[in-house]
Amino acid sequence: MSDDSTDQTSDNVQKAADNKFEIITKYIASGTLIVLSTIFYFGSDRSVGPMIICAVMAIVGSVLLVVGPAKWLINLIAGKVVITPMKVNKSPIPLKGIPKIRVKAPPPDLEKRRSYGASKSVPKTESRLVELPDYSAIPSTDPTVPTYVINEECEIVDWNNAFALAFDNSMEGHRGTPILEWVYRLDNWKEVIDHGEALFSMPSLPPYDCEDILYTSESFGLLRVKKHAYHIPTSTEGQYDGWIVVLDVEFADETNRLLYLERCFDLVQMDLLWSDYALSYDAVLTASDTYPKLLRLMIGEDKIDDFHLKPIAAGAKVLDLGAGTGNLTEMLAKPDDGRTIVAIENNRLMFDLMRRKLKRIGDKVLRSDTSGPGVVTVREHATKLEGLDADFFDVVIANNTLYLLEDPVGLLSECARVLKPGGEIRISGPKKDTNLNQLFGRIRADLTGKNQFKHLQQHYEKVKRINERRLAPNLYRWDVSDVTSLLKEAGFDEIGPTTTRAYAGQAMIVVARTSSNNVDA
Ligand SMILES: C[S@@+](CC[C@H](N)C(=O)[O-])C[C@H]1O[C@@H](n2cnc3c(N)ncnc32)[C@H](O)[C@@H]1O
């Protein structure tokens, strides 16, 4: 809430308190006068004098009693009073909006930089799309300090939100690639490669390394960075397992520093919100009938009246955007169906729950590349779908995710790029007239019907509360025609089918396809 509106609110509260005081005083005074006049009337000899006093007290008392309502009635007739219905505040804790994370375009001379790196004796490996969960635990005391982790092969395996933000999400799609891929994006990349070469030609690596880095950020201008890299020891004495790298950032411009901090707080809060959501939504929604029905609808295994989608074929290549705890991915990942699925999810807790769920299906379900059936889980912000090949997927699914994104058209354009010609995108999400009470009423009835409500009540209430208070600013963003426009802007030309009756009538589904004629000759 802005300062102005805070002032206005406290002003209004003060006025309301003053009014109340005035009304109470008037009623006490009028009541007292009327009672006194009555006592006087019955207690006196009813001669002219006392009767006059008595009449004056009764008149003044009555006037006081009716003057307020009469004034209000006159104002109402004169049109000075507007009767407003009681307002339900859907979002008492408004979010400022979805934090901005963008991918900066790689430097134009990237190939030149890569061949310079290749000629030096620093660790290099093939680029690959891989998640290495053993390393995903950055100990960050201050979440606004950019931090990343590299393994013993010098591959970047994890980073925090602050790193993604300050460095323009430059590692999106490059998890598990040599840290050199990041170095190529720095302003002083050559110096940093040479520093690495000197370091790796030492007889043994030092436990600590420090160097200066320069980077021009898309959103925050020039960053002067002191890089502190600490070796992570393994249990074997004297051996090192990887590095944790903490970046002490100095912003060339103070305004940019403040802007960075503000965005970073938003990102961290949003991330915590998803962690909190993850703890409850999975249990509540999977125990209901309403949510699994939505998932089945999305993969073509259910219908509402005459609305249904084509079942996703066995062997299909599917991208699940914002996969959450992996319920939709799990439905698609039946080993016999031989589908290749990439599930992108940024929140660590959601992501871990998804991986656990998928591991339960079978040992071989999780995989680290897309060359065969199984699921590749990718933990990062989906913005540019960096690292994913063009013309690869048959279907992209964004189940309850698109409405959360800051740059939906940017991501949809990327979806069009990674889809095969004629490939399909399926989007579900809330709509302008979504009624959360009806949706949650249905979910509650589902749970009550299965005798599950009581033990899930706290989780149910939390999920409802998060939707009402925290997600509300984004929930009522679009209807089918808005999503259709976004899809067209992103290059999808065939739209449909669509429905507004999914998820207890409170969600829409919009399907679109890329043109099947744009196959390169
Ligand atoms: C409402 S949940 C839906 C999860 C899942 N699709 C489902 O239907 O159960 C939205 C999910 O999108 C994820 N998310 C939001 N923005 C994202 C982004 N830019 N990149 C990747 N995941 C994102 C959140 O962390 C959250 O898990």
| pLDDT, tens digit, 9 for 90 and up, residues 117-155 | 888 877 766 655 555 545 455 656 789 999 999 888 888
Classify 459 in phi/psi space as left (phi over 0), alpha (psi -120 to 50) or beta: alpha
Distance (angstroms) between ligand 1 centre and the Cα of 322 equals 3
Q: Is the CB of 273 under 6 A from ligand 1?
A: no
Distance (angstroms) between ligand 1 centre and the Cα of 38 equals 72
pLDDT attached to residue 236: 61
Q: Is the CB of 408 under 6 A from ligand 1?
A: no
Q: Is the CB of 327 under 6 A from ligand 1?
A: yes
Q: What is the DSSP string of 182-203?
A: HHTTSTTHHHHHHHHHHHHTSS
Query: What average pLDDT does the segment 327-344 reach?
Result: 94
* Weakest mean pLDDT among 26-40, 263-277, 283-297: 26-40
How big, in percent rounded to 5, are the helix, strand and coil portions of the chain?
45, 20, 35
pLDDT attached to residue 45: 74
Token output for 515: 């043109």
How big is the chain by its Cα radius of gyration, in Å? 32
* Weakest mean pLDDT among 36-45, 182-191, 503-512: 36-45
Distance (angstroms) between ligand 1 centre and the Cα of 207 equals 38
Q: Which long-range contacts (CB under 8 A, 24 or more apart) does 87-94 make?
A: 90/468, 90/472, 91/468, 91/469, 91/470, 91/472, 91/473, 92/469, 93/469, 93/470, 94/1, 94/472, 94/473
The closest alpha carbon to 498, from 319, 304, 293, belongs to 304
Distance (angstroms) between ligand 1 centre and the Cα of 404 equals 8
- Dihedral over Cα of 460, 465, 468, 470: its sign: negative
Beta-strand runs (E) in 146-187: 147-151, 156-159
Cα distance between residue 228 and residue 232, in whole Å: 13
Q: Which CATH number fits domain 110-252: 2.40.50.140, 2.60.120.260, 3.40.50.620, 3.30.450.20?
A: 3.30.450.20
What's the distance, CA 419 to chain centroid?
A: 24
CB 388 within 8 A of CB 173: yes
Cα distance between residue 113 and residue 118, in whole Å: 9
Q: Counting beta carbons within 10 angstroms of the beta carbon of residue 167, is it exposed (0 to 12), middle (13 to 18) or buried (19 or more)?
A: buried
pLDDT attached to residue 99: 61
Question: So what's the architecture of 272-513 in CATH?
Answer: 3-Layer(aba) Sandwich (3.40)
| Ligand 1 atom at minimal distance to the Cα of residue 285 | 9
Q: Is the CB of 471 under 6 A from ligand 1?
A: no
Q: Is the CB of 274 under 6 A from ligand 1?
A: yes
CB 418 within 8 A of CB 488: no
Site to substitute for ligand 1 among 131, 268, 402, 404, most atoms within 8 A of C-beta: 404
Q: Is the CB of 350 under 6 A from ligand 1?
A: yes
- AA letter at 499: T
How far is the CA of 292 from the CAs of 242, 296, 331, 390, in angstroms? 42, 6, 10, 31
How far is the CA of 197 from the CAs of 116, 200, 201, in angstroms? 12, 5, 6
pLDDT at 4 over 60: no
Distance (angstroms) between ligand 1 centre and the Cα of 280 equals 14
| Residue nearest ligand 1's atom 12 by CA | 322
**Phi, psi (rounded to 5 degrees) for 41:** -60, -50
- AA letter at 336: D
According to DSSP, the β-strands at 374-378 and 340-344 are parallel
DSSP 155: B
CB 232 within 8 A of CB 241: yes
The helix or strand, by DSSP H or E, that contains position 343, with its residue range, turns out to be strand 340-344
Query: What average pLDDT does the segment 99-112 reach?
Result: 81
pLDDT attached to residue 165: 94
Query: What average pLDDT does the segment 426-443 reach?
Result: 96
Q: Is the CB of 377 under 6 A from ligand 1?
A: no
The helix or strand, by DSSP H or E, that contains position 390, with its residue range, turns out to be none
| pLDDT, tens digit, 9 for 90 and up, residues 34-72 | 788 777 777 777 777 778 877 887 788 777 777 766 776
Site to substitute for ligand 1 among 269, 344, 358, 401, most atoms within 8 A of C-beta: 401
pLDDT attached to residue 337: 92
β-partners of residue 223 are 215, 251
Site to substitute for ligand 1 among 101, 175, 320, 346, most atoms within 8 A of C-beta: 346
The closest alpha carbon to 94, from 220, 219, 12, 5, belongs to 5
**pLDDT higher for 381 or 89?**
381
DSSP 364: T
| Ligand 1 atom at minimal distance to the Cα of residue 327 | 9
| Ligand 1 atom at minimal distance to the Cα of residue 274 | 25
Distance (angstroms) between ligand 1 centre and the Cα of 72 equals 52
Q: Is the CB of 30 under 6 A from ligand 1?
A: no
Q: For the chain, what percent of residues have pLDDT higher than 70?
A: 84
